[in-house]
Amino acid sequence: AQKVTQAQTEISVVEKEDVTLDCVYETRDTTYYLFWYKQPPSGELVFLIRRNSFDEQNEISGRYSWNFQKSTSSFNFTITASQVVDSAVYFCALSSFYNQGGKLIFGQGTELSVKP
């Protein structure tokens, strides 16, 4: 079965601190996709990144970076120099490449609060 675990339910930091959100996944598939989504207080789900299981290169986009380690089944997300606007719930998700039409399996989410 596929599963995504985000062990950190809530994280609180002060502005300008760096913060890492953890994501651990389980799957029997050899090819799969991993995602991060952001859900700000307004409620919409905003796509942040997609990684393929065969591409373990880390990625950086501005203050955001992602560390994908297949050996530990982890796909962690780091925000550098956090800002109040980063306050949101962040979801890690997994989808199978071949089966099940690409449905997303979400973790329970990590609520990040960035205080000024």
Residues in contact with other proteins by CB under 8 A are: 33, 35, 37, 43-47, 50, 91, 95, 97, 100-109
d(C-alpha 92, C-alpha 35), whole Å: 6
- The contacts found for 57-65 with CB under 8 angstroms, 24 or more apart, are none
Q: Choose between 82 and 95: whose C-beta lies nearer to other proteins.
A: 95
The distance of closest approach from Cβ of residue 2 to other proteins in the complex, given in angstroms and rounded to an integer, is 11
The distance of closest approach from Cβ of residue 9 to other proteins in the complex, given in angstroms and rounded to an integer, is 11
d(C-alpha 75, C-alpha 115), whole Å: 25
Element (H, E) at 5: strand 3-5
Q: Choose between 2 and 15: whose C-beta lies nearer to other proteins.
A: 2
Q: Which amino acid is at 74?
A: S
The distance of closest approach from Cβ of residue 39 to other proteins in the complex, given in angstroms and rounded to an integer, is 9
d(C-alpha 56, C-alpha 75), whole Å: 10
Q: Choose between 64 and 106: whose C-beta lies nearer to other proteins.
A: 106
Q: Choose between 81 and 102: whose C-beta lies nearer to other proteins.
A: 102
